[in-house]
Amino acid sequence: MTPLSRFIRSQDLVWLLLFGALHLVSPVRNNAELQLLATLALFQVLSPKIDWFSDGIGLVASILAKLLLGWLLMGVTYGVESSYYLILLLPVVAAATSLSAWGATAITVLTAAAYLSFLLFLDWTIYVVPPDQAREISLRVLFFPLVAYLTYQLAEENRGEARKYQEAAEELAKANRSLHEAEAAVRRADRLAALGQLTAGLAHELRNPLGTIKNSAELLNRRLDRADEISRELTGFISTEVDRTNILITRFLDFARPVKLKLTPTSVAAVVDQAVEEIGRSDPKLPVTIFKNYSPDVRPVAADAELLERVVLNLITNAAQASPPGGVVTVRTRQGVSTVEIAVIDRGTGIDPKQKESIFNPFFTTKSDGVGLGLAIVSKIVDEHGGKIVVESTPGEGSIFRVWLPNTAS
């Protein structure tokens, strides 16, 4: 579609033709009539293209301008006897289709008053309105509320249908999002199950040779000459790396083995406090400030307090690592209808949209020294609680990790 076709629509040409035909068939056809018809035609065509006329005060001003132009057109074509009285239906229809019932009523009354105002210009000392003309004037005035009511009813039905379609579209969009989330959860669960089984098998198979390696290194260390510092240092490296590998294997097994929950009524605020204290003890020089924002109406949840603390601890640690020095990490709690929300908010580097679905997968990490099990374990713990975890992130602006837990504790 070209810019010209967007500006000039087919209905604009129809309006111009109709107003031109009105002038051609008019019994008056004077210059004032032509100027007012041209002005009204241009306003009818151009006003929808001006944003200010589409809402609020501008919309009312547009309707009043049409009323004024129509009234002036009748004034130059015999006033109350003008054949152009139907032109006053333009503001009536515009008000009925775009304003509230009270607004449409007010414009209709004002239009009827504008038509009847021409009676004030008559010289009643010499002019008498016969009964048939009085009935004609009354009939013309009654057309205004009749058209206004019918138009408003039709417009309201259309608005009602539009609202139904909008609600249906929103429901479909919501169902579509839920479906995508459910599919993502199923895919993640399948990957977790498969990788969990693989991890458990590998972990058990690796533990035996690692134990042999460490025992051999310690035995070798005891038999080495104390003067052989290099060899003793190398055997120490072997033992240290074996211990580090065993820690990783323990984390793999923590991920692979089924979670056994010890559910008790748990205060979410107390869990967050404990996690923040733990972070403070492990890293007294934490380069960020942790701000706690607790909603006072949050009720206890049925949860394993130790595992839930691990969830919060991991999320806050990740948020702190993603934040610049001197940044702020906010932990917010909020009570929902049937859930309690824990949100961890940072203003750090954010997450690439292409990586958002993968961050909860095991062994996926963007850190050079990361293993990629932290968020996978967090997701597993939340799932075992019957909850849900999602992330909202904008690269360069930060991330929000939201955990929803069912509010089933008494």
The pair of three-digit structure tokens given for residue 242, joined into one six-digit string: 């074996």
- Least confident interval from 166-170, 233-237, 296-300: 233-237
pLDDT at 1: 44
Q: How confident is the model at residue 371 (pLDDT cuts 50, 70, 90)?
A: low
Interval 24-83: pLDDT, tens: 887 777 888 888 988 988 888 888 888 898 888 999 999 999 999 999 999 888 888 888
**Mean pLDDT (whole number) for 330-338:** 91
pLDDT at 330: 93
Of the candidates 212, 238, 256, which is a domain's last residue?
256
Q: Based on the fold, state whether residues 248 and 277 are members of the same structural domain.
A: no
In angstroms, the CA 148 to CA 142 distance is 10
Q: How confident is the model at residue 283 (pLDDT cuts 50, 70, 90)?
A: confident
| pTM above threshold 0.75 | no
Most confidently modeled range among 25-29, 216-220, 387-391, 405-409 = 387-391
Interval 130-152: pLDDT, tens: 888 889 999 999 999 999 999 99
pLDDT at 316: 92
What distances in angstroms separate CA 283 from CA 107, 125, 129, 324, one per listed residue?
A: 70, 100, 97, 16
pLDDT at 184: 72
What distances in angstroms separate CA 234 from CA 207, 209, 220, 229, one per listed residue?
A: 21, 18, 10, 9
In angstroms, the CA 316 to CA 388 distance is 17
Q: Based on the fold, state whether residues 289 and 400 are members of the same structural domain.
A: yes
Of the candidates 210, 226, 256, which is a domain's last residue?
256
**Mean pLDDT (whole number) for 377-393:** 88
Alpha helices (H) along 224-303: 229-256, 268-282
**Mean pLDDT (whole number) for 205-212:** 77
Q: Are 203 and 252 in contact (CB under 8 A)?
A: yes
Residue of higher predicted confidence among 192 and 172: 172
Q: Based on the fold, state whether residues 276 and 249 are members of the same structural domain.
A: no
Return the closest-CA partner of residue 37 out of 82, 1, 96: 82
**Residues spanned by the domain of 270:** 264-406
Q: Based on the fold, state whether residues 252 and 363 are members of the same structural domain.
A: no
- The total number of structural domains that make up the chain: 3
Q: Based on the fold, state whether residues 241 and 322 are members of the same structural domain.
A: no
pLDDT at 72: 93
Return the closest-CA partner of residue 356 out of 366, 341, 348, 347: 366
Q: Based on the fold, state whether residues 283 and 250 are members of the same structural domain.
A: no
pLDDT at 188: 66
pLDDT at 368: 59
Above 90 in pLDDT, residue 402? yes
The pair of three-digit structure tokens given for residue 232, joined into one six-digit string: 């003793």
- With respect to residue 299, please indicate whether it lies within any of the assigned structural domains: yes
Pairing of strands 289-293, 328-335: parallel
Above 90 in pLDDT, residue 403? yes
Above 80 in pLDDT, residue 366? no
Q: How confident is the model at residue 353 (pLDDT cuts 50, 70, 90)?
A: confident
Give percent of the chain above pLDDT 70: 88
Return the closest-CA partner of residue 22 out of 70, 81, 94, 56: 70
CATH of the domain at 191: 1.10.287.130
Above 80 in pLDDT, residue 258? no
Interval 81-131: pLDDT, tens: 888 889 999 999 999 999 999 999 999 999 999 999 998 888 788 888 888
Q: Based on the fold, state whether residues 215 and 119 are members of the same structural domain.
A: no
Above 50 in pLDDT, residue 4? no
Average per-residue pLDDT for the chain: 84
The pair of three-digit structure tokens given for residue 303, joined into one six-digit string: 């949860």
In angstroms, the CA 331 to CA 318 distance is 13
Q: Based on the fold, state whether residues 186 and 282 are members of the same structural domain.
A: no
The pair of three-digit structure tokens given for residue 77, joined into one six-digit string: 């074509």
Interval 196-205: pLDDT, tens: 666 667 766 7
pLDDT at 372: 66
Above 60 in pLDDT, residue 3? no
Q: Are 272 and 312 in contact (CB under 8 A)?
A: yes
CATH of the domain at 271: 3.30.565.10
- With respect to residue 100, please indicate whether it lies within any of the assigned structural domains: yes
